[in-house]
Amino acid sequence: MGILLDGKSLAQQERQRVMEKIKSCKTQPKLAVILVGTDPASHTYVHLKQLACQEVGIGFELFAYPTFVSEQELMDRIQRLNARPDITGILVQLPLPGQNPNPLITAIDPKKDVDGFHPENLERLRQGKPTLAPAVALGILKLIEATHLDLPKKHAVIIGSHLFGEPLAHLLSTYGIESFVISASDSDLSQKTITADILISAVGHPGLITKEMVKAGAVVIDVGTTKVEQKIVGDVMPDVLEVAGWMTPVPGGVGPMTVALLLINVLAAYQQQKISE
């Protein structure tokens, strides 16, 4: 049997470090979140982010909108938040119920883009320059580090969207890990996943990854979350742990780490903004 990577305890350690650093801040960092629609998962994630901010001493403002709000109204809100010096970080909770997220993310001041999805921040990441990287990708890296494996020359397969996979692949490359981003609909999916020393799935397809698709001793990172009969389940079947060396649980794996790394990004954004004042 493999080892379950405890995202909750790792996240708590990161949150404690953020809390200690915030005590020395002259003013309070503050996160603004734009939430659109009624999706229960999105509301749950935003609530968890709010609780985490309160725990470590980060201010929090929520701007909730109905499902059919216009993109222009959301754009106007982002511009007002960009102009507020008390707002350290801004994020639009994804997915949106119908609005195009790209112009909204691009409208966020890159220095306040704590989700790390702004094109300018993604380009800086590609160039190896200091930047705000996506919190979910940073959280995944922390979980992989917790295995204490020798990472250079490892082979990673990432199943998910380009928006999710590309930044993660760039970050993995800084550890000497070669990565490939593929779609869940790839006709050779199982032939590709079985080659992975590190397998990362972010699809939202319950049971997508079975133990026959996993290399013995692999690190399996389950980013997928789907609500099934009042339970949150991942992309990876539980019995994959019989084959994998390490695996993240759902819930309790990537989710807590993503929230913790979001807090780190808010603090990093705050520090950068203070330097440039």
Residues belonging to the binding site for NADP(+) are 225
> Which one of the listed residues 93, 109, 142, 197 is annotated catalytic?
93
Q: Which of 113, 11, 7, 86 is nearest to 55 (CA)?
A: 11
For this structure, is 39 an active site residue?
no
Q: How far apart are CA 127 and CA 135, in angstroms?
A: 18
Task: Extract the annotated binding site.
Answer: 225
- Please enumerate in sequence order all residues whose Cβ is within 8 A of that of 34, keeping only pairs 6 or more positions apart, or say none: 63, 65, 74, 77, 78, 90, 91, 92, 93, 104
Strands (E), the chain: 3-4, 30-36, 59-65, 89-92, 155-159, 178-182, 198-201, 219-222, 226-228, 231-233, 246-247
For this structure, is 235 an active site residue?
no
> Which one of the listed residues 99, 109, 112, 115 is annotated catalytic?
115
For this structure, is 28 an active site residue?
no
The catalytic residues are: 49, 93, 115
